[in-house]
Chains A and B, each alone.
Chain A
Amino acid sequence: MITKRIIPCLDVKNGRVVKGVNFEGLNDVSSPIELAEYYTKSGADELVFYDITASAEGRSLFTDILKETASRVFIPLTVGGGINSLEDFDRVLKCGADKVSVNSGAIRNPDLIRQAALRYGSQCVVLSVDVKRVDGEFRVFGRGGRDDTGMEAISWIKKCVDLGAGEIVVNSIDTDGVKGGFDLEMLKAVCDVVKVPVIASGGAGKKEDFTELFHALPGVDAGLAASIFHFGEVDIRDLKNDLRENGILVR
């Protein structure tokens, strides 16, 4: 049977890994390449690189780092951040990315998902969505969680899957950085409507949060986190042993 995936996420700015709590107050953590190699050896199933630089220099620094990482790490790599066009897909795929994740770029132009899926296949197109509760509904936020788009999240996700998104990263802004566990209610609402893999993001603070996630929601395929891995609060090898002991199939 297919295993549940554990995915560390590396936010990269000017060639360094950063992680903020609730997207603010970023701290420099480590070298992306070293961290990627460390995680791969520890049993990470996949790595996500988010480019959070805005400048052209930062962008070319990012592709250099991506290339270097993809030359040393032989597990799937997903890249996101600043993906607004097919040229952006092309740029990161040529550097060794296997999947490309779109967020604000898809909000601005949903057809990007359709075009990218046609050219590269749905398996290559990941929709990443930042979701927050507003007025009793799940609302899509853009620009790194700063802008309320006014769109209802579940119908947005459904629309993107129909357009060709092959995987969904659901990041709960409400639980992100709080370390009190994943947003099970939000994730369940997503799992109920899509048949593509769902990756849970936002809220993991300890190993048990992952066990709870996979037990409560068998439809969730992977758990993604950043700071708890970067700061050594959760060791991926320990986490996987724990999951195994709890009857969850992992690699």
Chain B
Amino acid sequence: MIAVIDYGVGNLFSLCRSLEAIGQEPVVTGDPELLRKADKLFLPGVGAFADAREKLRQSGLEEVIKEEVAKGKPIMGICLGMQLLFEESQEFGTWEGLGLIPGKVVTMEGVIPADYKVPHIGWNQLHFPEGDRHPLLKTVGEGECVYFVHTFYATECDDAVIATAEYGAELTAAVARGNVMGCQFHPEKSGDVGLAILRTFCEGDW
């Protein structure tokens, strides 16, 4: 069973429909028991880091997630959900993340050229680091596009980076560290390329 973690942040409609479109029957839940029973977890999220972090903590789901991930359960964070996997975010202050992947989340303002628009919104190409392609992205061709909407991005996480996007600077687009994976972009809004990534995660043996 695939569980989409419901902690009161963001709109889960599209993620659930896209999982159904690839033959899954996702359960949207904030119930710790169901999350413990699930085979795989999705951590979605849009909005502000601090608010999402606080909701995870207050709901007690932070501990559940950490315990299940420590036991080896695969988790995929999407957009803000990916950012929450890191140790720290500097979005309007300094906030502690889940610490499942070393690195921190910072604004792209000041990193990208001043004439670039912020947020980074739209379809951008994925590029892959040299060496073996990470299995999560095995279906993605070089230069294929996915849909991004974000202002902050993960940095100081080189070992975990499995894809980047070029936007006046090299921005972290996808990360993986063992059973912990994340996409800065929205696979549920990235057409067939995105659906294939979701399918790989759902059907893969991580």
Q: Name the distance in Å between A150's Cβ and chain B's nearest Cβ.
A: 30
Q: Name the distance in Å between A40's Cβ and chain B's nearest Cβ.
A: 7
Contacts of B13 in A (CB 8 A): 70, 94-96
Extra contacts besides A2-B121, A93-B11 (13): CB < 8 Å: A3-B123, A5-B123, A70-B14, A70-B17, A71-B17, A74-B17, A74-B188, A74-B189, A76-B189, A94-B13, A96-B14, A98-B189, A167-B121
Within 8 A of A (CB), among B98-144: 117-125
Residues of B within 8 A of A (CB): 11, 13-14, 17-18, 20-21, 46-47, 117-125, 145, 147-149, 166-167, 188-192, 194-195
**Are A1 and B124 in contact (CB-based, < 8 A)?**
yes
Bound complex: CA A75 to CA B18 (Å):
10
Residues of A within 8 A of B (CB): 1-3, 5, 40, 45, 70-72, 74-76, 93-96, 98, 121-123, 166-167, 195-197, 221, 251
Bound complex: CA A251 to CA B21 (Å):
22
The 8 Å CB contact of B123, one of A2, A166, A196, is A2
Q: Assuming A3-B145, A96-B17, A121-B46, is B190 touching A74 (CB within 8 A)? A: yes
Q: Name the distance in Å between B165's Cβ and chain A's nearest Cβ.
A: 8
Contacts of B145 in A (CB 8 A): 3, 251
**Are B122 and A221 in contact (CB-based, < 8 A)?**
yes
Selected A-B contacts with CB under 8 Å, 19 pairs = A1-B125, A1-B166, A1-B167, A2-B121, A2-B123, A3-B145, A72-B21, A74-B14, A74-B17, A74-B189, A74-B195, A76-B189, A93-B11, A98-B14, A98-B189, A121-B47, A123-B149, A167-B121, A251-B123
